[in-house]
Amino acid sequence: MISLPHFPEHLQKLGPHTGKPLDRVDGLAKVTGKALYAAEHHRPGLLYGVVVSSSVARARIRSFDTADALAEAGVVQVFTHQNRPKLASRSKKWRDQDTPKGSPFRPLEDDRVLFSGQPLALVVATSFEAARHAAALVRIEFDEIEQPETRLLERLGQGKAPGRAKGGFTPPPGPHGHPQQALKSAFARVNADYLVSAEHHNPMEPHAATVFYEEDGSLTVYSKTQGPVGEQAFLSAVLGLKKDRVRVLAPFVGGAFGSGLRPQYHLVLAAMAALELKRSVRVVLSRQQMFTFGHRPYTWQHVALGAERDGKLVSLVHEAVAETSKFESYVENVVTWSARLYPCPNYSLNHRVVPLDVYTPLDMRAPGAVTGLFAIESAMDELAHELGMDPLQLRLVNYGEKDGLTGHPYSSKELRACYQQAAGRFGWEQRWSEPRGRREGSKLVGWGMATGVWDAMQVPASARARLHLDGRLEVASATTDIGTGTYTVMTQIAADVMGLSLESVEFKLGDTSLPEAPLQGGSFTVASVGSAIKAACDGLRDQLFKLAQKMPNSPFYARSQAEVEFRDGRLGLPGHPEAALSYAQILRQQGVSVLEEEVKVLPNLLKQRGYSLATHSAVFAEVQVDEELGTIEVTRMVTAVAAGRILNPKTSRNQLLGGMVWGISSALHEKSELDLELGRFINHNLAEYHIPVQADIRHLEVVFVEEQDEIVNPLGIKGLGEIGVIGVAAAIANAVFHATGRRVRHLPIRLDDLL
Amino acid sequence: MKKFAFNRAETLEDAVSAGASAGVRFIAGGTNLIDLMKENVERPDRLVDITRLPLGEVKRQADGSLSLGALVSNAAVAEHPLVRGHYPLLSLALLSGASPQLRNLATVGGNLLQRTRCCYFYDLATVCNKRTPQTGCAARNGINRQHAILGHSQACIAVHPSDMCVALAALEARVRVLGRQGERTIPIADFHRLPGNEPEFDTILRAGDLITAVELPSNDWSEHSHYLKIRDRASYAFALVSVAVALQLDGEYIVEARLALGGVAHKPWRLESAELALRGQRTSNSSYQRAAETLLQGAEGFEHNRFKIELARRAIVRACAEAAKGTRR
């Protein structure tokens, strides 16, 4: 059971629509099937491409035998590296908006096999069934099949600094003070290693691209992506087409979680085939093929903590060694969170990567933070136990009023209130200190808590607002809605700024013909695109006001804009209802058919300078563990989140619940099982790759903590995409320890860990 | 998926004669077969739809046994009043498997014939003796958390995934089969086989054999039975270990016991000696432990599933204790 929502009154409002738990504006379209996803767009004559994946991880291709496949009725072509049309040859052209250092993977590049599941051929046919059947008839002979390098733990010593960084990565600074010395002389110490499994994103909608070949030879691409703008640039570079010859659309995205941040190989193959065949082509990946590209990297961590008798940290060591591919050096922020969260005079942080024969890892919901917070928040729990201290008290003793790395104050940080309110709802003051201290029948009961933290980011974004003569407002930006509620909250912002009803506002997204928007990731969409929408609407207000002033006998003639109000589709003067004019009236009278404003909004770096910007959460979890059988149930969980202004408590709560469920999933279920001999993720289906089912989810509760922030961005929004999942696994692991006295330092925790 | 021909069997005889040809598969619910066909693991030339055959009844027979038609859905069996009333063990086992959607489609006969969920069996990129004889077993040195600890062979360490069959083993069900030589009855214990050197054969059925029904003997064990399924999530997961246990008690003493394990072998694992070990014993953990030791004799795990031996031991004790308390309804 998930607790019924109660939405606090304090959620600040821009107008009547923001801060309210409104239903999704696209909800009806989704539940009635009118919302079309990438693989659902159709035109007569569409061809279907099916990818042939490599069965080996490391080899050279000797030969293809495509005769049987080509002989099948309906098969149009089989593309391999031997007959593919020319694609960009320079590595630089294959870079996208989320590329780490290295040389991006190029499908059908040459005879080298770099990872298991690599696309080696594309079979194109007039029906999906024919293509799929023919794909099974393609025979590939390999030479030089070699044992893939897959063993991270045997190569920990060979980790390399990731070097030039990927966007969003902050390399950990060098050591501060004397962490080793301080550790030695500390009153209490923790010294432990932690392991986080590889995971795959597994959105409900598999990756797909439907590429329509237009009469003029340009491409219209329906894609599953978190960034149409980036895909347009990528496709144009890779295919050697002018940007205006490629239009990418993603009106609906069935979940992505980071898997849509980088263009994947199916997109290249579909577009390449369409151009070459001068036909429209669709390529959809199978669920099995969803395990053949990016994943959350398998990561080893070491944490050492030293503390005074009162719990104050004197030493903090956090090191990570993560896998990457042989061709790219993927990296994420794993270790810096510790020192930011817990200011400590002596610290040492380190992050290294080990190249293996796997595909490059890829940002996956709260990349790095899910991993790093599991380790540091488990270690803090271990330290609390060493000290005989309440784990929450230990966090409060080490509470960072300032960012422990930069020394900057936070633009806002209501983490203390998160602790307090979540602990209150959970009943933490009833906690018993000794592990194995409570039993219910055959079950041991345990409570655990942890902290979550994520960056509050804003990046450049553009938006356009158009007010029509009939009073309709059309707002647009080429962002996406990956299931988060973007359609809804952007509509709310525009409606409130313009003083319109939700029904009179239409928000368009997911189309490169619209103003540029960034990738939808990092929890920065609402802060970035929302700010642009607000600015565009503010611009419309200025224009409307000026038009109104120019009208003959205008009641606004001698007024300033600060004196007027934009309300219910009318421009008015408070106290003078007779003066009010509808927007349509103003436009009509002034002979304007449509009023338009397009803006690009950048973060106000001047205002943000000298501040640390972050979202925080506190997670409290209860588990019951069957002592004999080891089975674990998360019976209760409360998360309190401080994320600035909450625009829509319903969609926000929805995101946070999803995050909490995913936290349970990473704590107890998810694991991409890499067969070390084969270098192949072997549980590549949703029967064997476990995520929780409904029966695993019990009482979940979300608390929104009031947080006012005038610095982070004009809307005071911090974003919620990641924060819900962060810290959950540690809270559960800590609860498992409290229940059983067994400390499990790897994820997922499964029953055999507790037998 | 390979192209295939399709036709519907109008009579039992039609089905049997069509099924005798090479490359023919019967299809009923298709919940397993279609998946396997999509992955090219099963590559039939022809599917013969048997869903119109008159095998959809649950009926009491003259000798007191209960006959479950091969085409009765798993959901219908689980919810049938005669099953719930007299064979709650079977009902519980069925409801612990798959999902409501799958149980609505899956049939009694299909459940008996479902194939292993070994990841390697499903993945054509790997070797598998069950899929392609004499190629090797990738699971033995691979990810083998779900695999067998009992009765496995050098050639194969796969497990049979059914919950229903574990209950059927404890209930000593019989499988009615119509073949080219007529009808015959196979005790459930003999129906599935151990992998040996021929893991490609899951059962002793021959080409053309059509399961027509499963019969449950009249001794229904309904007072003291339990099905305990232990898995990695609360639902929709195959058993790591499952236990079907049925007891006849006289006060604190066990008169007679039936005990079968799932998730541990190529077939439901049942040993008469383990059941005899319970006969005449008190209903106590130490009795159950002795039975567990007997049943698990010779168990041998692999890198990722050694824990199953201890888990099975504890699960047997728990399941017996639960059964002794009286069937939960």
Dump pLDDT digits (tens) for A75-120. Answer: 999 999 999 999 999 999 999 999 999 999 999 999 999 999 999 9
B140/A contact by beta carbon, under 8 A: no
CATH topology identical between A366-457+606-755 and A459-602: yes
| Predicted confidence (pLDDT) at residue A14 exceeds the cutoff of 90 | no
Residue B55 to residues A367, B28, B87, B292: CA-CA distances in angstroms?
54, 11, 20, 38
Write out the two tokens for B14: 């039609």
Of all residues in chain A, the one with the smallest CA distance to B126 is: A55
CATH number of B5-49: 3.30.43
pLDDT at A258: 97
Helix boundaries (H) for A72-188: 128-137, 179-184
For residue A694, list chain B residues with Cβ-Cβ distance below 8 A.
235
Cα distance between residue A51 and residue A74, in whole Å: 16
**Cα–chain-centroid distance for residue A708?**
24
A596-610 in b/e form (b: 16+ CB < 10 A) is ebbbebebeeeebee
Distinct helix (H) and strand (E) counts, chain A: 17, 31
User: Which among B141, B232, B235, B311 is the top mutation candidate for probing chain A, defined by the most A β-carbons within 10 Å of its own β-carbon?
Assistant: B232
Can you point out the beta strands (E) in A326-400?
328-329, 347-356
Cβ pair A279, A168 in contact under 8 A: no
pLDDT at B245: 98
Rounded mean pLDDT of A359-383? 98
For residue B229, list chain A residues with Cβ-Cβ distance below 8 A.
none
Could you check whether the bond before residue A748 is cis, i.e. omega within 30 degrees of 0?
yes
Residue A117 to residues A200, A224, A687, B54: CA-CA distances in angstroms?
14, 20, 19, 45
3-state helix, strand, coil in chain B (%, to 5): 30, 20, 50
Cα distance between residue A342 and residue A449, in whole Å: 16
Q: Return the domain boundaries, chain B.
A: 5-49, 224-325
A675/B contact by beta carbon, under 8 A: yes
Burial class (CB in 10 A: 0-12, 13-18, 19+), A178: middle
A12/B contact by beta carbon, under 8 A: no
Cβ pair A712, A456 in contact under 8 A: yes
pLDDT at B220: 75
Three-state SS string over A661-701 comes to HHHHHHHHCCCCCEECCCCEECCCCCCCCCCCCHHHCCEEE
Rounded mean pLDDT of A722-734? 98
Cα distance between residue A118 and residue A362, in whole Å: 16
For residue B307, list chain A residues with Cβ-Cβ distance below 8 A.
752, 755
Four-CA torsion B12, B16, B18, B22, nearest 10 degrees: 160
| Predicted confidence (pLDDT) at residue A170 exceeds the cutoff of 60 | yes
Residue with tokens 């890829």: A362
CATH architecture for the domain at A38-145+202-291: Alpha-Beta Complex (3.90)
Q: Return the domain boundaries, chain A.
A: 38-145+202-291, 366-457+606-755, 459-602
A508/B contact by beta carbon, under 8 A: no
pLDDT (tens digit per residue) in B283-322: 999 999 999 999 999 999 999 999 999 999 999 999 999 9
Cβ pair A148, A357 in contact under 8 A: yes
| Predicted confidence (pLDDT) at residue A9 exceeds the cutoff of 70 | no
Burial class (CB in 10 A: 0-12, 13-18, 19+), A176: middle
Of all residues in chain A, the one with the smallest CA distance to B311 is: A629
B307/A contact by beta carbon, under 8 A: yes
Domain B224-325 in CATH 3.30.390.50? The answer is yes
Rounded mean pLDDT of A60-74? 98
Cα distance between residue A722 and residue A707, in whole Å: 18
| Predicted confidence (pLDDT) at residue A5 exceeds the cutoff of 70 | no
Our CA-based measurement puts residue B85 at a distance from the nearest CA of chain A, in whole angstroms, of: 26
**Cα–chain-centroid distance for residue A672?**
19
**Cα–chain-centroid distance for residue B317?**
21
Cα distance between residue A287 and residue A266, in whole Å: 13
Positions of chain B with pLDDT under 50 = none
For residue A696, list chain B residues with Cβ-Cβ distance below 8 A.
233-235
Rounded mean pLDDT of A510-534? 96
User: Which among B123, B147, B231 is the top mutation candidate for probing chain A, defined by the most A β-carbons within 10 Å of its own β-carbon?
Assistant: B123
Cα distance between residue B308 and residue B285, in whole Å: 19
Say if the Cβ atoms of B235 and A693 lie within 8 Å.
yes
Give residue A4's pLDDT band: very low, low, confident or very high (50, 70, 90).
Answer: low
- Please name the fold of domain A459-602: Aldehyde Oxidoreductase; domain 4 (3.30.365)
pLDDT at A30: 96
Cβ pair A663, A725 in contact under 8 A: yes
Burial class (CB in 10 A: 0-12, 13-18, 19+), A424: middle
A310/B contact by beta carbon, under 8 A: no
Write out the two tokens for A616: 């925080």
pLDDT (tens digit per residue) in A607-661: 999 999 999 999 999 999 999 999 999 999 999 999 999 999 999 999 999 999 9
- Please name the fold of domain A366-457+606-755: Aldehyde Oxidoreductase; domain 4 (3.30.365)
Cα distance between residue B204 and residue B197, in whole Å: 14
Cα distance between residue A376 and residue A316, in whole Å: 9
Please, which residues 389-448 of chain A have a Cβ atom closer than 8 Å to chain B?
442
Going by C-alpha positions, the residue among A270, A183, A181, A171 that lies closest to residue A224 is A270
pLDDT at A12: 66
First to last CA, chain B: 43
A746/B contact by beta carbon, under 8 A: no
Size of interface A-B (CB pairs under 8 A): 92
Please, which residues 20-39 of chain B have a Cβ atom closer than 8 Å to chain A?
39
- Beta bridge partner(s), residue A634: A623
Which residues are CB-neighbours of A434 under 8 A, at least 6 positions away? none
Say if the Cβ atoms of B233 and A692 lie within 8 Å.
yes
Quick check: helix, strand or coil at residue B260?
strand
Cβ pair B318, A629 in contact under 8 A: yes
Write phi, then psi, for B144 (nearest 5 degrees): -125, 35
Cα distance between residue B320 and residue B329, in whole Å: 16
Cα distance between residue A193 and residue A333, in whole Å: 18
Of all residues in chain B, the one with the smallest CA distance to A684 is: B119
Side by side, the strands of the sheet bearing B66-69 are: B58-60, B66-69, B210-216, B174-179, B182-187
| Predicted confidence (pLDDT) at residue A731 exceeds the cutoff of 70 | yes
Write out the two tokens for B41: 């693991």
Cβ pair A409, A601 in contact under 8 A: no
Mean pLDDT of chain A: 96
pLDDT at A10: 64
> Would you call A722 a catalytic residue per the annotation?
yes
Cβ pair A651, A643 in contact under 8 A: no
Q: What is the ipTM of this complex?
A: 0.97
| Predicted confidence (pLDDT) at residue A1 exceeds the cutoff of 60 | no
Helix boundaries (H) for A170-217: 179-184
| Predicted confidence (pLDDT) at residue A42 exceeds the cutoff of 60 | yes
Which residues are CB-neighbours of B169 under 8 A, at least 6 positions away? B188, B189, B244, B260, B267, B268, B269, B270
pLDDT at B230: 98
Four-CA torsion A244, A246, A247, A249, nearest 10 degrees: -160
Rounded mean pLDDT of A41-57? 98
Mean pLDDT of chain B: 97
User: Which among B2, B38, B39, B143 is the top mutation candidate for probing chain A, defined by the most A β-carbons within 10 Å of its own β-carbon?
Assistant: B143
pLDDT at A174: 94
